[in-house]
Structure 1
Amino acid sequence: MQYISHYSSPLGRILLAADKEGITGLWFENQKYYAYKLDEDHEEREIPVFEEAKRWLSVYFSGREPDFMPPLNLIGTEFQKNVWEILRQIPYGQTMTYGEIARKIAEKKGVAHMSAQAVGSAVGHNPISILVPCHRVVGTNGSLTGYAGGIEKKQKLLSLENVPIEHFFVPKKQKYTFARGTLADLPQVYAIIDERIHWMDEVGIEQWNVTDYWDCYPESYYEKAVHDGNLYVLKEAGGDRVSGVAVLYESDERWAKQQGPAAYYVHHLATRIGEKGTGKAMLSFCEKQAVADRKEYLRLDCAIDNPKINAYYDKLRYDYAGTCVDGKYAGNLREKKIR
């Protein structure tokens, strides 16, 4: 038998559900998945667990972290329960990305990879909002997405916990999407890079075209980048056409003398020729990815003898940080502080 009660919060009316084991549901009125899986045969009655839950909510909405937790009874699949248990471990005032949760699930299951999309679905179906803090989960690129109660409530809950939400953004309808690449994306990735190599020959830039690129970075290199989750692609929104590619690493031998603070190092950044704005969009998404993963810098290198690309990075505030040499290639090291 399930019981229900209501609570008036600063963010709107809340429906609570419980059984003899504990709280089974907490939903903002009219939210997505409202009263999901609430038994049709339920009764509105004040029971002790509701009193405890409402006391918890009153402490929480006063801007303080409660030091107690009412008993919960999470009802779902084994996978959903595993995800929800990770949500319960996210500390007050902190966030975690869908990708981080996916990695934790993969480690627990002893597998190489777990779908962030599957994690997102489980997070979205969390039946006990706030108490199981799904509002603390953010997109890998720093976007505030996936909260059944609505983005505005998610922002207010994070602000209540003093989370610096200026580090995140509310996604708008965009021309492009940015995500980890898949094996299915690789033929387009190879074509984009080939196109750029020929372009470098045409304009007289010595970089990938003078380093035996495909011998150094064969298809197996990119397959491993996909497997390790380091390859990212820029796609036209709503489609499968790849417009840009980049590989993000957490270390780089070219920066051995300047490793320092946590950073992402951009490699193999390439976009389709003739698509204006894709390079800037790709870098913007890389920066947001780095912020979401708590990096302080985004770092890259570019050809010394290409004044146009150096001026481009100057304009985007990537500061000069030294030089590097790799065979025939000589490059300028550039970095941007993003946090």
Structure 2
Amino acid sequence: MRSGENEGQVFRNGIRVASPSDTSAVLMILNTAAERLWGLRIRQWPRSFPETAVEADLRAGNTWILMEDGRPAGTMTVRWADPLWPGDTSAAGYVHRLAVRRPRRGHGRVLLERAADLTLSHGRALLRLDCAAENTALRTYYERTGFVHRRDVAVALSPGFQLLGSPSRLSISLFEMALR
């Protein structure tokens, strides 16, 4: 998507493209979710996201924000390639940094439905995402929503992820959903 293509347009269920002016709201949602994960001892994300982690996707129009009662409730980024999925990536959309401010029934599904609609509108028939292999609750959630586990891959962790004595690599589970 080109920056500004859908800017300001609110799609069904209160989802709209996030703009650079939404940086603090997106970071609040991501950091709230990251803190929950760290509290569960799941090292899927850094403990805190810096602004630089979201800037490019916000400028490119790749990040979406879910609003509920005028307040930011969830976010996700959809990209058109992912290095964890080598080979031809032209058939898929890739969901990154899917997060909700408060775990609430339905917000994740609403965001994933928007990602599926967006992916189909770009002529792609697969939706892909990933999570830490140790995050069994999220793996179960993805499978319940129709994603199929494809494989696990090991990735090197950046220093922001590591705690004293923790491993330097993380096992990531890759999931895929056929949209047609």
Provide the TM-score with structure 2 as the length reference. 0.81
- Summarize the Cα distance change of 1:177–1:289 in structure 2 as closer, same or farther, 3 Å threshold: same
Per the alignment, in what secondary structure is the counterpart of residue 333 of structure 1?
strand
Q: Which amino acid is 1:275 matched to?
A: R
Provide Cα deviations, 1:222-273, integer angstroms capped at 9, x if missing partner. 2221111111111126x3x11111111111101115x455211111111112
Instruction: List alignment gaps of at least 5 residues for structure 1.
Output: 1-98, 104-112, 121-138, 142-173
Q: Which amino acid is 2:65 matched to?
A: V
How far, CA to CA, are the matches of 1:116 and 1:261 in structure 2? Answer: 22
Matched, 1:256 2:86: yes
- Whether the 8 Å contact between 1:181 and 1:226 is mirrored in structure 2 is yes
How far, CA to CA, are the matches of 2:82 and 2:147 in structure 1? Answer: 17
* Count of residue correspondences: 168
**Alignment correspondent of 1:233:** 65
**Alignment correspondent of 2:25:** 188
Deviation at 1:275, TM superposition (A): 2.6
- Summarize the Cα distance change of 1:277–1:116 in structure 2 as closer, same or farther, 3 Å threshold: closer
Write the mapping of 1:261-276 to structure 2, written as runs, cut at 5 A. 261-276=90-105
Per the alignment, in what secondary structure is the counterpart of residue 128 of structure 2?
strand
How far, CA to CA, are the matches of 2:55 and 2:136 in structure 1? Answer: 33
**Alignment correspondent of 2:164:** none
- Whether the 8 Å contact between 1:236 and 1:242 is mirrored in structure 2 is yes
Deviation at 1:274, TM superposition (A): 3.4
Matched, 1:207 2:49: no
Provide Cα deviations, 1:154-207, integer angstroms capped at 9, x if missing partner. xxxxxxxxxxxxxxxxxxxx6x31221012221111111111121112112121
Deviation at 1:213, TM superposition (A): 5.5
Q: Which amino acid is 1:322 matched to?
A: R
The equivalent position to 2:134 in structure 1, one of 305, 313, 326, is 305
Provide the TM-score with structure 1 as the length reference. 0.45
**Alignment correspondent of 1:336:** 177
Deviation at 1:114, TM superposition (A): 4.6
**Alignment correspondent of 2:76:** 246
The equivalent position to 2:120 in structure 1, one of 271, 291, 297, is 291
- Summarize the Cα distance change of 1:195–1:293 in structure 2 as closer, same or farther, 3 Å threshold: same
Instruction: List alignment gaps of at least 5 residues for structure 2.
Output: 157-168
How far, CA to CA, are the matches of 2:86 and 2:33 in structure 1? Answer: 27
Question: Once the two structures are aligned, what percentage of the paired residues are identical?
Answer: 25
Q: Which amino acid is 1:231 matched to?
A: T
Q: Report the structure, 1 or 2, having the larger helix content.
A: 1
- Whether the 8 Å contact between 1:261 and 1:296 is mirrored in structure 2 is no
Deviation at 1:117, TM superposition (A): 6.6
- Whether the 8 Å contact between 1:248 and 1:264 is mirrored in structure 2 is yes
**Alignment correspondent of 2:165:** none
How far, CA to CA, are the matches of 1:242 and 1:260 in structure 2? Answer: 31
Deviation at 1:116, TM superposition (A): 4.2
Root mean square deviation of aligned Cα: 2.5
Q: Which amino acid is 2:147 matched to?
A: Y
Provide Cα deviations, 1:29-52, integer angstroms capped at 9, x if missing partner. xxxxxxxxxxxxxxxxxxxxxxxx
- Summarize the Cα distance change of 1:313–1:301 in structure 2 as closer, same or farther, 3 Å threshold: same
- Summarize the Cα distance change of 1:114–1:270 in structure 2 as closer, same or farther, 3 Å threshold: closer
